[in-house]
Amino acid sequence: MPAEILERAVLVVLVLVMALVLRLFLKLLIRRVTRSLADRAPEKAADDLGTKAQRLLARASGLASERHKQRVSTLGSLLNNVVDVVIGIVTVLTVLAIVGVPMTPLLASAGVGGLAIGFGAQSLVKDYLSGIFMLAEDQFGIGDLIEVGSVTGTVLEVSLRVTKVRTATGTVWYLRNGEILTLGNISQGFSTAMIEVPVAIDENPEKVASVLRGAISGMDEEPEWAQVLLQEPTVLGVDSMSGGTMTLNILIKTTANNQWGAMREVRLRAKRAVAAAGIRGPILPGTAEVPPATA
């Protein structure tokens, strides 16, 4: 009997040592892989970029930023937790089997209990699984402007279960990841905006378009806007004619979330150029004649 007890004790010690060694090895492996991904992926993405637009988009989307490192770190923490849980369960079951605890009734009870817990925690599991996929697919990150249902705001925090978003009014929303079915990321890639320039309907559209092109020509090369505009604003021409108004459109394409300032600047330049060229504004109802605009 003492020999059998000693043998079982030795086996238990060996199992515990092997579990600790395996856990340490897997932790080191995960750490090395996550560090490699965090350091190498941004550089690889940057090497593939050639045009100005691609370089600006890469900078705006955080290919070499803390966002990428945070995502890799979160996934690494998740893998570490999975390793701890799996090794812990296997080690406990192995030790119980060595000391002679009957496993069949224990596994049956654990199965029934696990089924009950799993059924009651379906929403929690759904939240975590959704969070894992959102992080792995990089659907959004901290600082992104997203739209989820009726909520539009900036992402403050991303966890496996909950995403924290602050709206323009300052309200902080806590969105369960499992409940996010449709999501729009306004910050991903680039932003576009259409600017309407209304003038009198009897103005020469070619002249107006030429004046507008002159006002915004080379804007994307100016130091203030070179890091915002992906390309020179484009005058698309006449969009609509109604009543006494002819409307021309200007299309701008910017890095994510930077269209607002560019829109204001284009409007200002268009207004000054139109006024300087003597182009009249829209003819309002009941107005027989509109004098030329003045600068």
| Whole-number pLDDT of residue 258 | 84
Q: What is the mean pLDDT of the chain?
A: 82
pLDDT in tens, 209-249: 999 999 999 898 999 998 889 889 999 989 999 888 999 99
* Residue-range domains of the chain with CATH: 2-120 (1.10.287.1260), 139-185 (2.30.30.60), 190-276 (3.30.70.100)
pTM of the shown model:
0.56
- Alpha-carbon distance of 192 to 186, in angstroms, equals 10
Report, in this order, helix, strand and coil percent for the chain, each rounded to 5. Answer: 55, 20, 25
Least Cα distance to 42 among 23, 61, 24 occurs for: 61
- Enclosing H/E stretch for 266: helix 259-276
pLDDT in tens, 44-94: 444 444 466 666 655 655 544 566 676 777 778 778 888 998 999 889 888
pLDDT in tens, 134-191: 877 778 877 888 999 899 999 888 888 899 999 989 999 999 999 998 899 887 778 8
